[in-house]
A = this chain, B = another copy of it.
Amino acid sequence: MSNKQNAAGRRRYGAIEAGGTKFVCAVGDDDANILDQVRVDTRDPATTMAEVNRYFGAAVNTFGPLTSIGVGAFGPLDLNPSSATYGHVTTTPKPGWKNFDLVGALKYGTGRPVQLDTDVNAAALGEWRWGAGAGLDSLAYVTVGTGIGVGVAHYGRAVHGLMHPEIGHIFVRRHPDDAGFPGICPYHGDCLEGLACGAAVVARTGRALKDAPASDPIWAIEADYLGQLCANLALSHSPQRIMIGGGVMQTRLYRTVHERMLHWLHGYIGAAELQSTGYISPPGLGGSAGILGALYLAISANQGTVTA
């Protein structure tokens, strides 16, 4: 038994789903069990991280030593291990968090190794390990809420490189009933996120999508933009499954987004799986994809790799 295992011989890990409004902090094990979980409001980095580190410090008394800590975080993030600013949040407009050393604050606060990825990459890995994407060579995880985030995992590894995917900011073609609306992305105006995130829906209609009457053209506009996203994903990443969650995704949208994806692909990709409405589905882990993804990051950090 190694000193990284607790008295009962089982490893315990820390997991953090770090979002713009809250940090969900949890302790879990190798079998996707969440043993304890708290919510920490996201304020300035110093206040927030002090509370997060206090939580994990106290958790050791209950659960024994934590082997490592996994974090799925809002971004953009510097994920290049050879960069001087590895583990930092980079260009976020969120006050106080720009250039904040998230990995450093956790590593020095807890004394444990930290594995960081984007919130959506973490969720994609969680789905690959335990959810609706179990064992797939390629899957995409999309969240449509305040913004639009997309995580991608190939062969059980999240996509990195220059940075990490930022597919929410691709350009889509304008829906004919949506001419005039300038979009709300501070960088691009009318990129996908600027046209189709929750705040863009509110900017046009004054209410959330779920509150719009069935006759409102916003439903068809939203389905078309998300259908273009899925067509682009199918062409770019060839995922075997696309999972979409987030506050904007209402049940009735899945079928229409699938229809619009097929419209845009126009028969080019013959794969039978693509024709099935199940190709685009809610996350298999539901609202737990993020925190379980973070747990999987912690486990993979301990294995020295995120590959299977």
Question: Chain A interface (Cβ within 8 Å of chain B)?
Answer: 76, 90-91, 136-139, 154-155, 157, 159-167, 169-173, 187-188, 228, 231-240, 264, 266-271, 273-274
Contact = CB atoms under 8 A, between A and B. Distances in A.
B271 A162 contact: yes
Contact of A232 (B91, B157, B170, B264): B170
Contacts of A234: 162
User: So how many copies of this chain end up in the complex?
Assistant: 2
A160 B137 contact: yes
A268 B155 contact: no
Given A91-B270, A160-B238, 20 more contacts: A91-B268, A138-B159, A138-B160, A138-B161, A138-B162, A154-B159, A154-B160, A159-B238, A161-B239, A162-B269, A162-B273, A164-B238, A165-B235, A166-B269, A170-B236, A171-B173, A171-B232, A171-B264, A188-B266, A232-B236
Contact of A161 (B172, B232, B238): B238
A187 B163 CA distance: 33
Given A138-B161, A238-B163, A187 B91 contact: no
B235 A162 contact: no
A267 B187 contact: yes
A270 B266 CA distance: 35
A150 to B, nearest CB: 8
